Structure 1
């Protein structure tokens, strides 16, 4: 681990915040992807019933 000196708390806090935000973005993307896939499947199923 590099010596961060008197800014260690700020630097590590920034790294921690970045990791939390990246994890949140991944989770939101996965949820929205699943929702979009479900909507597409429902639309395709509806189309097959009427087509």
Structure 2
């Protein structure tokens, strides 16, 4: 059950939406960067193992 926000409904709900969007972008970016770094580390380890 959501409280009645009256005239502040649009700013409050848009702030929630913006916060959730930013959180999703940060999570996606962190996962993407971690996978990229993991691939690079694996490539370096493979090169070192073959030397």
TM-score, normalised to structure 2, is 0.93
In the alignment, structure 2 segments of 5+ residues that lack a partner are: none
Q: CA deviation at 1:5?
A: 1.7
Greater than 6 Å deviation, 4+ residue runs: none
Q: CA deviation at 1:3?
A: 1.4
Q: CA RMSD in A?
A: 0.5
Answering whether residue 39 of structure 2 is matched by residue 38 of structure 1, we say yes
Q: CA deviation at 1:49?
A: 0.5
Give distance in 1, aligned partners of 2:34 and 2:44: 15
Q: Number of residue pairs matched?
A: 50
- Which has the bigger relative contact order, CA under 8 A and spacing at least 6? 1
TM-score, normalised to structure 1, is 0.93
Q: Which residue of 1 aligns with 2:6?
A: 5
